[in-house]
């Protein structure tokens, strides 16, 4: 019997997959404090992990742990070098997230370009005429978007951008020019140069030591004053203090953020008062459909691991 720790509940459809196997018993852990997890982590052969952090202190107590199944695709909440050294397998829900996240990019872009929050408010106060022109809107048609990171989400996003007749540039040094061209994009090799002409920057890269603070004030100052930054990847890729300053000084027009350096965001964070930003609380992947896909893939990955038939697409090469 394998014991599974479900760290934060997954969709019932995922739990049903585990229920159907006699070899597994699971426990759902809602209290994700280090203190509570320390009491339990030694019990588990496998864990399902959402966004809470598994510190090295916790991992060092996880003496039975053989596999971590991430409910999602980013894995900056675990120390991959520790997993490698200790022969712990890391699996992700690789085919679950791309649709929901790329739709969320459009939700953020359109909310900004259509000035949605202000116009909704004007209706509620009965204003259909006076001063309505002060709320400018603009089209996505013919605008240039730079997709940084052309993996699962970037590749899904480009199809939607082309549907809106946007001009798509792609920065991803690890993807062949031909692959990008075949999908209707133009590969750029020089990120700094590409920043100068874009209307939208959408980030789809992992957070690591190379991408931490990748977008800082110096880079924002090279962008057009009408440009918009969309970050659904990870907080910390865009420097938050610099973004706040750039928006206050009208260096760029706006930003749409689903992710933050600290989650939940500190209530003193000045971004919360900045009218140039629209935000969502790390919910890009939490559509009804995606929650089912992630729950099922998380559970199936654990089952496949113990049945020695891991799907290679789900495996992170540590």
Secondary structure letter of residue 213 according to DSSP? T
Rounded (10°) angle between helices 98-113 and 288-306: 150
Residue nearest to ligand NAD (CB): 151
3-class state of residue 315 by DSSP: strand
Is there a contact between 49 and 74 (Cβ–Cβ < 8 Å)? no
Q: Give one word for 70, left, alpha or beta, with left for phi > 0 and alpha for psi -120 to 50.
A: beta
> How many residues sit close enough to ligand NAD to count as binding (CB under 6 A)?
31
Does 161 help bind ligand NAD (rule: CB under 6 A)? no
Residue 315 as a binder of ligand NAD (CB under 6 A): the answer is no
Let me know: does 306 contact 23? Beta carbons within 8 Å: yes
Q: Is 260 in the site for ligand NAD (CB under 6 A)?
A: no
Rounded to a whole number of angstroms, the minimum distance from the CB of residue 155 to ligand NAD is: 8
Q: Give yes or no for residue 157 binding ligand NAD (CB under 6 A).
A: no
Site mask for ligand NAD (CB under 6 A), range 171-210, x = bound: xxxxx----------------------------xxxx--x
**Residues in CB range of 302: below 8 A, 6 or more apart:** 4, 18, 24, 46, 48, 67, 69, 91
The verdict on 151 binding ligand NAD (CB under 6 A) reads yes
What is the rounded CA–CA span in Å between residue 281 and residue 88?
30
Nearer to ligand NAD, 40 or 256 (CB): 256
Q: Does 97 bind ligand NAD (CB under 6 A)?
A: yes
Per CB under 6 A, does 232 bind ligand NAD? yes
Instruction: Count CA atoms closer than 13 A to 102's CA, side-chain side.
Output: 21
Residue 101 makes contact with ligand NAD by CB under 6 A: yes
45 binds ligand NAD (CB under 6 A): no
Only one of the segments 37-45, 150-158, 267-275, 303-311 lies at the binding site for ligand NAD (rule: CB under 6 A); that segment is 150-158
Rounded CA gap, 80 and 200, in Å?
32
Q: How many CB atoms lie within 10 A of CB 180?
A: 23
Indicate which single residue of 5, 72, 235, 256 sits in contact with ligand NAD (rule: CB under 6 A): 72
Q: Which residues bind ligand NAD (CB under 6 A)?
A: 72-74, 97, 101, 148-154, 171-175, 204-207, 210-211, 232-234, 258-259, 282, 284-285
């Amino acid at each position: 019997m394998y014991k599974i720790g479900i760290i934060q509940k997954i969709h019932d459809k995922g739990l049903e997959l585990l229920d159907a196997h006699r070899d597994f018993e699971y426990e759902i852990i809602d209290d994700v404090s280090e203190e509570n997890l320390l009491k339990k982590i030694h019990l588990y052969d496998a864990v399902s992990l959402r966004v809470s952090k598994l510190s090295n202190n916790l991992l060092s107590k996880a003496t039975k742990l053989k596999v971590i199944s991430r409910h999602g695709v980013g894995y900056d909440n675990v120390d991959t070098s520790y997993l490698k050294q200790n022969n712990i397998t890391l699996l992700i829900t690789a085919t679950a997230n791309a649709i929901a996240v790329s739709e969320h990019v459009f939700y953020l872009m359109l909310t900004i370009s259509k000035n949605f929050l202000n116009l909704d408010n004007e209706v509620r106060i009965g204003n259909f005429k006076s001063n309505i022109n002060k709320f400018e809107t603009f089209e996505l048609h013919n605008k240039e978007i730079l997709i940084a990171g052309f993996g699962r989400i970037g590749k899904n996003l480009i199809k939607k951008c082309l549907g809106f007749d946007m001009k798509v540039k792609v920065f991803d040094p690890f993807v062949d020019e031909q692959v990008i061209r075949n999908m209707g994009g133009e590969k750029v090799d020089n990120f700094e140069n590409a920043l100068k002409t874009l209307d939208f920057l959408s980030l789809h890269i992992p957070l690591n030591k190379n991408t931490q603070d990748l977008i800082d004030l110096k880079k924002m100052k090279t962008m057009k004053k009408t440009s918009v930054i969309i970050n659904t990847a990870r907080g910390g890729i865009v420097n938050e203090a610099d973004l706040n300053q750039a928006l206050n000084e009208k260096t760029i027009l706006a930003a749409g953020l689903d992710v933050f350096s600290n989650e939940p965001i500190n209530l003193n964070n000045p971004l919360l008062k900045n009218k140039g930003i629209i935000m969502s609380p790390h919910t890009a992947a939490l559509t009804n459909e995606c929650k089912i896909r992630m729950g099922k893939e998380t559970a199936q990955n654990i089952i496949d691991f113990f049945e020695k038939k891991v799907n290679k697409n789900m495996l992170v090469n540590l």
